[in-house]
Structure 1
């Protein structure tokens, strides 16, 4: 799973960088918080987790690692789109922000449990 985490981290890095260019060229900084979330929760977090899984392969072969991968990579796009919705005052966006955060937090808890269980 380590390689999958690193590959998807690179995708988030590219998306964040592209959004950064769009923000800079347009001069509209209303989506800066979206760009920050993509970089921190996508590129940085998933990159570090990928490196941990590469360094400790026993962590990456568990069902917890797979579930975490999918929860994180469903939760983050939901969160990012919901934040955009909040910026444009979409009424239902608040529910989706909570949904994205719950998925992200649950996935991160699975990562923590996996670490505590497998690293002895």
Structure 2
């Protein structure tokens, strides 16, 4: 499971870099919060979860880890899309669906991660 997280994180790394270049060359700097979230939540947090699950393989193979994986990786693109929609002319319901739906999915995923870590990550004997 750890390798999947790491692979997804490098995709977010590339997206974050490309988005930063887009902002630079178009001087569309209002997107800075979205850019930061892509890099911190997409690249760094996702990669760190992958490293943790690579070290603590027992935690990575639980039902909690699998549920967390899917909630996080379905919710996060919706959250990022919603964050971009803030500056676009889209229906309010669509913006709320993406930001709230994606954000709640990611938040629940993080809660599952915390539970999983406290339940299955143990110090070596």
- C-alpha distance in 2, partners of 1:87/1:103? 22
CA-CA distance at 1:41 after TM superposition: 0.8
- CA RMSD in angstroms comes to 1.1
Gapped regions of structure 1 (runs ≥ 5): none
Match of 1:53 in 2: 53
* Paired residues of 1:12 and 1:38 also in contact (CA < 8 A): yes
CA-CA distance at 1:70 after TM superposition: 1.1
After TM superposition, the score normalised by the length of structure 1 is: 0.94
Q: Deviations over 1:39-88 (max 9, x none)?
A: 11110101111111111111111111111111111111101111111221
Match of 2:22 in 1: 22
Aligned runs of 1:1-120 on 2, under 5 Å? 1-90=1-90, 91-92=92-93, 93-120=95-122
* Paired residues of 1:79 and 1:101 also in contact (CA < 8 A): yes
Structure 1 runs of 4+ with >3 Å offset: none
- C-alpha distance in 2, partners of 1:31/1:112? 30
After TM superposition, the score normalised by the length of structure 2 is: 0.91
> How many aligned positions are there?
120
- C-alpha distance in 1, partners of 2:33/2:61? 34
Give the 3-state SS of the residue equivalent to 2:86 in structure 1: helix
